[in-house]
Structure 1
Amino acid sequence: MRTSRLEAFSDGVLAIVITIMVLELRVPESEEGHVATFADLVDAHLVPVIFSYILSFVYIAIYWNNHHHLMSTADHMSGSIMWANMHLLFWLSLVPFSTSWLGESHGAAAPAALYGLILLMAGVAYFVLSRMIIRAGGANSTLARAVGRDRKGEISPVLYALGIVMAFVWTPLSYALYVVVAALWLIPDRRIERLVAAQPDPTE
């Protein structure tokens, strides 16, 4: 099986994840006779909800972008790659739940810790998927040559784990650590882009 079917399925799942998250957003409640204004959007109850949505949207966008780059290095699919991909999608499918709980929790520790745990497990699943692609392609595959020592991949789990612990110490620091990890991954891996671009087009 070629990668196109797996990519299409993954794209569909991530699109549904984003749809579920946006449907969780609720318009500000107002009393009878109250004129709605933009000030209602910065209500203390809405700011955490909007923050959690934006952060989760960025994470899903990052995974979608990097998943595309990852799949571009695979020539064919194997059973281990397909199951590893499903493992990744399982954790990403839990993001809407953790996002909703985080936004409605008003800084509680448990939702922040669970949010970080799901992000951590999604990161682990992404790592496993990349290893399965390398195993299928061999030591000289495009991904194996591109990855090398993955510093971002080494740092991210540490920051996630620290964020989970900090959720029970000072929750804002936990949020900050999750934002830092997102910032690290905003730019896709340029090494993969360069190697894929350098490969000859098989259609020519």
Structure 2
Amino acid sequence: MQTSTTRAETFSDGIMAIMITIMILELKLPDFDANQEVNDIRNHLKKLIQHFVAYIFSFVMIGILWTSHHHLFHLLEKTDNFLVRLNLFFLFWITLIPIVTGILGANPFLPISTALYGSVMLLTTASLSYMRGYTLKNDLIHSGKTAEINNKIFKVSVIGKRQSYISSFAYLLSIPLSFVSIYISYVCFAIPILLFFLPASIDEEKLENKINENS
């Protein structure tokens, strides 16, 4: 059965917003006492900074995933039951991000912490990659009224799929590299973020507007 994409997109937006809210709850300020030693206060702040750095990584990545998901669904003309299931699979991994973010924030220099974080992010980005591939193979994307629009829609979909693959590969590398060098694993975590901020060859917002005008 093929249906509109609106409900799936709205539901996904809500889940991702909730996950960001849950993550910020990990940043708990301690109750400072006037009699506390300076070193105790420093230790509290150090732990808070660790959680904040982990929060930044995850906040930016959820923002990137939300943006990619938004553009993906705005390029779709319709959805089907299997795509809805794939979307739920993607959201399942999204809901695990606050857990591994908390683990990473509490133990940022433990290899198992970065490996767990990399594993969840790998499965999240890989599920988004698979969704993109599925929409291309099953002709769920919009058919524009001109060949130019169709070519741009296809090109944007392929570029998005390629970026998702590169992000997945970076997270895949981070898992074994966590046990070699923690710092290299953090470099791997930064690659998908840097990739997102590279200049795009096609303005996706303008393309979406053209699709809406011609639909």
* 87 and 188 in structure 1: CA distance in 2 versus 1, 3 angstrom threshold: farther
Distance in 2, Cα, partners of 1:77 & 1:199 = 16
- Residue 144 of structure 1 corresponds to 154
Any idea what the Cα deviations from partners look like across 1:132-158, whole Å, max 9, x if unmatched? 222332698554343336543342222
Any idea what the Cα deviations from partners look like across 1:107-142, whole Å, max 9, x if unmatched? 101010010011111111001111222233269855
Any idea what the Cα deviations from partners look like across 1:61-87, whole Å, max 9, x if unmatched? 111111111111111110111111111
* Mapped contact 1:28–1:41 kept (Cα < 8 A): no
Greater mean deviation of Cα atoms: 51-60 or 126-135:
126-135
Distance in 2, Cα, partners of 1:8 & 1:190 = 28
- Residue 9 of structure 2 corresponds to 7
Any idea what the Cα deviations from partners look like across 1:26-82, whole Å, max 9, x if unmatched? 10353443599xx85983222211100011000111111111111111111101111
TM-score by length of 2: 0.81
Distance in 2, Cα, partners of 1:5 & 1:18 = 20
RMSD: 2.8
Q: Compute the displacement of 1:5 (Å).
A: 0.9
Structure 1: which 5+ runs fail to align? Answer: none
* Mapped contact 1:3–1:71 kept (Cα < 8 A): yes
- Residue 211 of structure 2 corresponds to 199
Give 3-state SS (helix, strand or coil) of 1:33's partner: coil
* Mapped contact 2:112–2:178 kept (Cα < 8 A): yes
* 91 and 12 in structure 1: CA distance in 2 versus 1, 3 angstrom threshold: same
* 175 and 200 in structure 1: CA distance in 2 versus 1, 3 angstrom threshold: closer
- Residue 53 of structure 1 corresponds to 55
* 63 and 19 in structure 1: CA distance in 2 versus 1, 3 angstrom threshold: same
Distance in 2, Cα, partners of 1:10 & 1:188 = 26
TM-score by length of 1: 0.85
Distance in 1, Cα, partners of 2:70 & 2:194 = 18
Structure 2: which 5+ runs fail to align? Answer: 144-149
